[in-house]
Amino acid sequence: MTPDTFPSLFWSYTAVWLILGVYILSLGIRLRKLEDTIAKSSKGCCDTDHKND
């Protein structure tokens, strides 16, 4: 008779998606923050350039 090993499968897939999810989320947050900072700084540069003109 085939044993009931479904709980192991469940925990294994939970672990896989938890590891991947946390890593993808952390990468996404870092990328978004960086892009925002760079966009803000280049906008600030443009504003000061215009003021100087």
Site residues (vs other proteins, CB under 8 A): 2-6, 8-9, 11-13, 15-16, 19-20, 23-24, 27-28, 30-31, 34-35, 37-38, 41
Q: How far apart are the first and last CA of the chain?
A: 83
| Residue 47: CB minimum distance to other proteins, A | 15
Residue owning tokens 């672990």: 15
Name which of 9 and 52 has its Cβ closer to other proteins: 9
| Residue 16, φ and ψ in degrees, nearest 5 | -60, -50
Name which of 6 and 53 has its Cβ closer to other proteins: 6
**Among residues 50, 27, 23, which one has the least CA distance to residue 42?**
50
